[in-house]
Structure 1
Amino acid sequence: MVKVMRKAPGVGLAAPQIGVPLRIIVLEDTKEYISYAPKDEIKVQERRPFDLLVIINPKLQKKSNRTAVFFEGCLR
């Protein structure tokens, strides 16, 4: 999954996106990827680089009532 995400390139990929019926997510955002985005967008999204993160059997938990609307790309 990491190879697929990086080859796309993308900052996140869920197993079902590539036909794997498991609850696994891989995430990674780099300075390079962030540098391609407009500076005002980076600021509004509070985007910061982070190392590879693999999440198995995630459970979403609401942390606040804050909402945001941004474009989401798809690697598929």
Structure 2
Amino acid sequence: MAVTQDLVPAVVSGVGGLATALAGAPWWTTVLCLGLTLIVTSLQLVFPQESRDRLAWWKDRREYLQGRRAARRRRDP
């Protein structure tokens, strides 16, 4: 079994340091940094993390895109 690193606890614990570093910063900077943190953690939760699952996801994605291209070629003369 492969050991995978989980980004979520690291990012969540880093938010406290981020908030301390941004104390006194403009509100939009704080919102932007926290939004980017949320996006990074969400990507890890959405995409599969195990190698077999990740490989299957990319194969399915490639088949889907090839199907779309083939449909577009049939539709456009």
TM superposition score normalised by structure 2: 0.24
Q: Which of 1 and 2 has greater Rg?
A: 2
Structure with more strand by fraction: 1
